């Protein structure tokens, strides 16, 4: 198991809105009792989203796996807890049947459930690979496919929590970054497919916020390292470093605000980068621009520097 050594960008579950700046075209009030499904709603970003949407007049179906989390969510006003493990098709089918039976329809889907594990490409086990792709990619696809008919019927919105790790390929989080890069393609393709049907699709890309994912990453690192052997002091120190790093991060209130904007603004943005750290925001943009430069370098149809600047201006003007 690879030790945690570098900066971890976008480990939020758990995805250009500038940090510390309000969203332009602020979200309007939610129409009375519009229903939204939030996956992974038991803690962290998912819980913040659930709390904010419920307080703003939405009716939230809050997906969670554990009975104690379901009981806690059910006690909230404007919230119905739904047993939902996004990796289990039976759970997805039963959640779909329950929400359909409730009769409110479904205006919004927030694909928030996500997991992470530490490890570089050469050392990541098949178990960790399947674990992360199972939730972060296949789970998102499974839930979206199931609830698409209800969203299409309401001409509603589909929002996915990605990460700035969908732009920054961070060492020792290779598989996590792979899953978040996949969500970029998912959101772009789905937006094209759903636009003719009247459905708006967007993606929220948080930076580093407080989330239970950090403790879970640390616990999984210790679990994997302990298989058949004693855990070394270096591994223990690495795991505790991950957990303590996560504990010191800010609450994800701005991520929840971006989700509300994505569900209610006319029009919303397609991408929302939300980070509490200026360096994270800058590095993310630099990473995206570096890929443009690399794509253009020494190829048959390379553009001049002036042409690239013109393209950038045109892209900015189109927003």
Closest CA to 255 of 154, 96, 79, 112: 112
Tally of residues, the chain: 319
With a CB cutoff of 8 Å and minimum separation 6, the contacts of 203 are: 15, 159, 160, 161, 162, 183, 184, 187, 270, 271, 272
Report the DSSP pairing between strands 200-206 and 157-161: parallel
Residue 184: how many other CB atoms lie within 10 Å: 18
CA distance 199 to 192: 10
Residue 192: how many other CB atoms lie within 10 Å: 10
Q: What is the CA radius of gyration of the chain?
A: 20
Judge whether 176 counts as a catalytic residue.
yes
Q: Residue 155 in contact with residue 199, Cβ under 8 Å? A: yes
Handedness of CA 90, 93, 95, 98 (dihedral sign): negative
Count Cβ atoms within 10 A of the Cβ of residue 209 and give its class: 0-12 exposed, 13-18 middle, 19 or more buried.
buried
Q: Which of 59, 61, 167, 176 is catalytic?
A: 176
Q: Helices 213-225 & 126-133, crossing angle to 10 degrees?
A: 160
Classify the phi-psi angles of 271: left when phi > 0, otherwise alpha if psi is within -120 to 50, otherwise beta: beta
CA distance 184 to 197: 21
Q: How far apart are the first and last CA of the chain?
A: 43
- Catalytic residue numbers read 176
């Amino acid at each position: 198991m690879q030790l945690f050594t570098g900066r971890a960008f976008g480990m939020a579950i758990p995805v250009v809105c500038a940090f510390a700046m309000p969203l332009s075209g602020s979200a309007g009030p939610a129409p009375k009792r519009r229903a939204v499904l939030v996956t992974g709603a038991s803690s962290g970003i998912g819980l913040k989203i659930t709390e904010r949407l419920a307080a703003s007049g939405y009716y939230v179906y809050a997906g969670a796996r554990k009975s104690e989390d379901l009981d806690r969510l059910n006690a909230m006003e404007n919230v119905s807890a739904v047993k939902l493990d996004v990796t289990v098709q039976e759970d997805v089918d039963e959640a779909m049947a329950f929400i359909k039976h409730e009769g409110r329809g479904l205006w919004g889907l927030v694909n928030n459930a996500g997991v992470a594990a530490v490890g570089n490409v050469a050392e990541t086990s098949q178990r960790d690979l399947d674990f992360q792709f199972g939730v972060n990619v296949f789970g998102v696809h499974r839930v979206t496919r199931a609830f698409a008919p209800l969203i299409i019927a309401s001409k509603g919105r589909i929002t996915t929590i990605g990460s700035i790790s969908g732009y920054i390929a961070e060492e020792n989080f290779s598989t996590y970054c792979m899953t978040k890069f996949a969500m970029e393609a998912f959101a772009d393709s789905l937006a094209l497919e759903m636009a003719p049907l009247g459905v708006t699709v967007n993606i929220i890309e948080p930076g580093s916020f407080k989330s239970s994912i950090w403790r879970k990453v640390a616990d999984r690192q210790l679990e994997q390292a302990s298989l058949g052997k004693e855990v070394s002091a270096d591994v223990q120190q690495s795991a505790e470093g991950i957990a303590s790093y996560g504990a010191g991060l800010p609450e994800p209130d701005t991520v929840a605000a971006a989700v509300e904007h994505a569900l209610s603004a006319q029009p919303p943005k397609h991408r929302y980068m939300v980070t509490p750290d200026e360096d994270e925001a800058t590095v993310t943009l630099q990473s995206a621009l570096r890929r443009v430069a690399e794509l253009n370098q020494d190829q048959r149809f390379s553009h001049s520097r002036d042409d690239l600047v013109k393209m950038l201006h045109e892209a900015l003007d189109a927003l």
